[in-house]
Chains A and B, each alone.
Chain A
Amino acid sequence: MSLKQKSRLPQLLMLLGILSLGAVFLFPLWQITLDAAQFPGGLKMHIWVNKISGSEKNIIQNINILNHYIGMQYIEPDSIPELKYFPIVAYSMMALGLISLVLNKAWAYLSWFIIIAILGALGIYDFYLWLYDYGHNLDPKAPIKVEGMTYMPPLLGEKDLLNFYVTSYPHLGSGFLGLSSILALAAFWVKRKSK
């Protein structure tokens, strides 16, 4: 590796980090799967940075129909503000990444890494709050009431909820998000070493 190429390495790593962050628009961040006897293959719900979708076209409607028995709120992607401003945050971070790449300073890469790490943690906390709200804030007139039962899906892991076995795990989008922070950290590391 020539010296010139070596000096370009942090910028290259940061560029890959930015592209990797962009991948959150291509893949869901999280997948919640509802498994029950009468749903062969399960119902898979995908949470994206900007939308909620499913493995099939009408999965949200079908999950809402199931949720109505226990008085869970309907999932209405239009009424979730995060889905509108998270994409702006992501684009902003990509822009900041570009700035750090132009500056090509160790502190710039480190700052970017710290911000994305904090945002990621906040995102997960926000997700937790939504899950808590869906699981606990039940319609008092729900047709099916089970004493002491709440229906919060696990943030991470697996759980029995009545006839459903619910699994909740990060999906590819989160992987790319993690990768982008690692790449920024690597950019910082290489830049600092090369001094």
Chain B
Amino acid sequence: MKTHYLNYVAGLSLIFLMASCGNQGSETSQVLGGSAAEQAYVAPGEYDEFYAFMSGGYSGQITAYGLPSGRLLKEIPVFSKYPENGYGYSEETKAMFNTSYGEVPWDDSHHIELSQKDGEFDGRWLFVNGNNTPRIARVDLKTFETVEILEIPDVAGLHCAPFITENSEYLVSGTRFSVPIPQKDVPIDTYKKNFKGLINYVSVDPEHGHMELAFQIEMPGFNYDLARNGKGKSHGWSFLTTYNSEQEHSLLEVNASQKDKDLMAVINWKKAEQYMKEGKFTERQTSYFHNLMNEETSIVESEEKTLTKILDPKNCPDMVYFIPVPKSPHGCDVDPTGEYIVGNGKLSADMSVYSFDKIMKAIEEKNFDGNFDGIPIINYEAALDGIVKKPGLGPLHTEFDGRGNAYTTFFISSEVVKWDVESKEILDRQPTFYSPGHLVIPGGETKKPDGKYLVAMNKITKDRYLPTGPELAHSAQLFDISGDKMKLILDFPTKGEPHYAQAISADKIQPNSVKFYDIEQNKHPHATLGESKTRVERDGDEVHVYMTAIRSHLAPDNIEGFKVGDKVYFHLTNLEQDWDVPHGFAIQGATNAELLVMPGQTRTLLWEPKKPGVFAFYCTDFCSALHQEMSGYARVSPKGSDVPIKWGLNEKLRENEQAAHDFYEKAKQNANIGK
């Protein structure tokens, strides 16, 4: 409580200072204010320089912002159903939420990782973890759609994920909570005996991005928190912070904060690959789901997997090491050269910076301080490059600008501190409002950071924006870091509680952005490629409506012959082939959501009519000047009635077996499909 109060006072006093400057009406403050606004200003019609992808925390989603303007560009649904476009509600996307626990329609998304090639972002895919029901998702950056979700078995709280290697070989993840493996009914106080932690390596197919659980490493039951992979000279190695090396299971705030140092795991994954090839793994039966969107049909195909391959460090010498790291570490970050690894002990007053060369030397010389469960513990002093002395309180995360500077967020003292990686000297500090978690510099995790801006993601926003009741928007603060001193140039509110973000130069994404789906490539089994092919088919209690949308009508727009108790599938194909012309579909009384169908795409909504009557359906996306006219009716008769199926457009209701009339023939030509 006391620290909160202090934060608040610190924050307020700074605001008073700024306000008093303003009151003096001094020219300098106006000039400074003016130039700050200018730096973040992107004129109407101009584009931002960077895309920033922020994880949505407990919203389960990702948001895309432009930098430096802070404009919200898009919310990308990932782990939470999204009624806005029917993601998770449409028949095609429901399977994205399949897990070994059944359908899980929510998660907690934490860490954004952009795909890399040669240690630089390539703009192809974006990965993010689901923390609660352990999963990793892949978003295709050509379409900004979630196209794949892979469950990770036998882990809990997949916080330490999905950290990527420099050629996107692997996504590395560690369990935050250790659990019995395999899961079993045991007393919780048998933690030390029964609980284990898994570190997981998910391979990424270099061409299609498809993920596969390559192997898991069985580790002692700690809490694995965050990770980074080596780059350059340290390529082939992973570094993961752990806490609770006390292996406690209750009142962790006290019991897991006793040791002065915890352990950082150092993993030679190239060696692990080799052991996998040599067959040094054991196989275990388990259950996890792999959900992948078929590119041709755009339907998610879900597959349960039942086998996992596990490496045990005891049988795999030289694969895993530990290094002591100051008290309860959080972030673990590797500098652009791949030489320095920063371990942030969040309860420590200092920050430890390790040298990769020294780690290698210590390993070579077997300079170990004993072992934990057979895993050698590298001598702390031997691996240490230096200590950043008293930089602030509660260091969490560090990113780099590519000019030899590191920037670290301090949660408790609410600030960003700039320091020199080589000399460990503190160069600058700027307050944040308030309690920052992660920070991001475009490319700040890669070999080639674009060290122009820094965004701090703040957990608390008191007094920064108009109040919105007890819950306030979380805040991002944009700093210009191109000069010697960091300069705050913009505040902007964020959606959800963003954990981490990655930012990438717009020119790596913008040119590849898809404008519409090529309808000739639409291989959806229920696609309707032309109005002449629209129809309604009954199969017992199932009714399939093959419907099309084009400005400014749905075809058919009048349908009769539905009965209470039917399962009606509306398969809507958007015949448009133009940019930014989605059509929507909503029907009264549907118990799920709407559909938003992209041009050239097919999406299916299940409607179960509950009562007789005539119900309206309509396009939800204001698509044209005649959008309001884009509507129709569905007639529902009582169960067991014998009203025949009829459908039509332009007042000509059509008998089921009637041949296509003139209108459809004309419409077919008009729709110009296949030309």
B578 neighbours in A (Cβ, 8 Å):
58, 61-62, 65
| CB closest residue in chain A, given B671 | A61
Question: Which of B577, B624, B629, B669 is within 8 Å of A76, CB to CB?
Answer: B669
A74 neighbours in B (Cβ, 8 Å):
669-670
Contact bitstring B507-547, A, C-beta under 8 A = 1, else 0: 00000000000000000000000000000000000000000
A74 to B670, CA, bound (A): 7
A76 to B550, CA, bound (A): 17
B625 sits at the interface (CB 8 A): yes
| CB closest residue in chain B, given A75 | B672
B675 neighbours in A (Cβ, 8 Å):
60-61
- Least distance between A35 CB and chain B CB atoms (Å): 16
B576 sits at the interface (CB 8 A): yes
Cβ contact within 8 Å between A69 and B669: no
Would you list which residues of chain B between 649 and 675 have a CB under 8 Å from chain A? 669-672, 675
Cβ contact within 8 Å between A64 and B625: no
A57 to B550, CA, bound (A): 17
Would you list which residues of chain B between 553 and 595 have a CB under 8 Å from chain A? 576-578
B462 sits at the interface (CB 8 A): no
Q: Quick one: which of B551, B552, B577 has the most chain A CB within 10 A?
A: B577
B629 neighbours in A (Cβ, 8 Å):
143
A1 sits at the interface (CB 8 A): no
A3 sits at the interface (CB 8 A): no
Contact bitstring A42-65, B, C-beta under 8 A = 1, else 0: 000000000000000110111011
B577 neighbours in A (Cβ, 8 Å):
57-58, 61-62
Q: Quick one: which of B550, B551, B671, B672 has the most chain A CB within 10 A?
A: B672
Cβ contact within 8 Å between B672 and A143: no
Cβ contact within 8 Å between B626 and A60: no
A144 sits at the interface (CB 8 A): yes
A74 to B672, CA, bound (A): 10
Cβ contact within 8 Å between B670 and A64: yes
Cβ contact within 8 Å between A65 and B669: no
- Least distance between A161 CB and chain B CB atoms (Å): 15
A141 to B625, CA, bound (A): 16
A69 to B629, CA, bound (A): 12
| CB closest residue in chain B, given A163 | B625
Contact bitstring B483-502, A, C-beta under 8 A = 1, else 0: 00000000000000000000
A58 neighbours in B (Cβ, 8 Å):
577-578
Contact bitstring B57-92, A, C-beta under 8 A = 1, else 0: 000000000000000000000000000000000000
A65 to B625, CA, bound (A): 12
A57 to B518, CA, bound (A): 10
Question: Which of B550, B576, B625, B671 is within 8 Å of A144, CB to CB?
Answer: B625
Question: Which of A57, A60, A61, A69 is within 8 Å of B625, CB to CB?
Answer: A69
Q: Quick one: which of A57, A61, A68, A69 has the most chain B CB within 10 A?
A: A61
B552 neighbours in A (Cβ, 8 Å):
68-69, 143
B624 neighbours in A (Cβ, 8 Å):
69
- Least distance between B557 CB and chain A CB atoms (Å): 15
A143 to B627, CA, bound (A): 12
- Least distance between B388 CB and chain A CB atoms (Å): 50
| CB closest residue in chain B, given A57 | B577
A98 to B617, CA, bound (A): 65
Cβ contact within 8 Å between B550 and A143: no
A62 to B625, CA, bound (A): 15
A76 to B552, CA, bound (A): 19
Would you list which residues of chain B between 586 and 632 have a CB under 8 Å from chain A? 624-626, 629
- Least distance between B552 CB and chain A CB atoms (Å): 8
| CB closest residue in chain A, given B577 | A58
- Least distance between A75 CB and chain B CB atoms (Å): 9
Contact bitstring A74-105, B, C-beta under 8 A = 1, else 0: 10100000000000000000000000000000
- Least distance between A96 CB and chain B CB atoms (Å): 33
A174 to B669, CA, bound (A): 30
Cβ contact within 8 Å between B551 and A65: yes
Cβ contact within 8 Å between A65 and B626: no
| CB closest residue in chain A, given B625 | A69
Contact bitstring A160-181, B, C-beta under 8 A = 1, else 0: 0000000000000000000000
Would you list which residues of chain B between 136 and 166 have a CB under 8 Å from chain A? none
B670 neighbours in A (Cβ, 8 Å):
64, 68, 74
- Least distance between B82 CB and chain A CB atoms (Å): 26
Q: Quick one: which of A58, A74, A143 has the most chain B CB within 10 A?
A: A58
- Least distance between A62 CB and chain B CB atoms (Å): 5
- Least distance between B542 CB and chain A CB atoms (Å): 33
Cβ contact within 8 Å between B626 and A61: no
| CB closest residue in chain B, given A58 | B577
A57 to B674, CA, bound (A): 11
- Least distance between B597 CB and chain A CB atoms (Å): 16
Would you list which residues of chain B between 293 and 314 have a CB under 8 Å from chain A? none
B671 neighbours in A (Cβ, 8 Å):
61
A144 to B577, CA, bound (A): 23
A143 neighbours in B (Cβ, 8 Å):
552, 625-626, 629
B672 neighbours in A (Cβ, 8 Å):
60-61, 64, 76
Would you list which residues of chain A between 143 and 193 have a CB under 8 Å from chain B? 143-144
Please list the 3 inter-chain residue pairs (A to B) with the smallest Cβ-Cβ separation, ordered nearest first: A58-B577, A61-B672, A62-B578
Other A-B contacts than A61-B671, A61-B675, A143-B626, 20 sampled, CB-CB below 8 A, are A57-B577, A58-B578, A60-B672, A60-B675, A61-B577, A62-B578, A64-B672, A65-B576, A68-B551, A68-B552, A68-B670, A69-B552, A69-B625, A69-B626, A74-B669, A74-B670, A76-B672, A143-B552, A143-B625, A144-B625
Interface on B for A, CB 8 Å cutoff?
550-552, 576-578, 624-626, 629, 669-672, 675
Interface on A for B, CB 8 Å cutoff?
57-58, 60-62, 64-65, 68-69, 74, 76, 143-144
Q: List 7 A-B contacts (CB under 8 A).
A: A57-B577, A62-B577, A62-B578, A65-B551, A69-B625, A143-B626, A143-B629
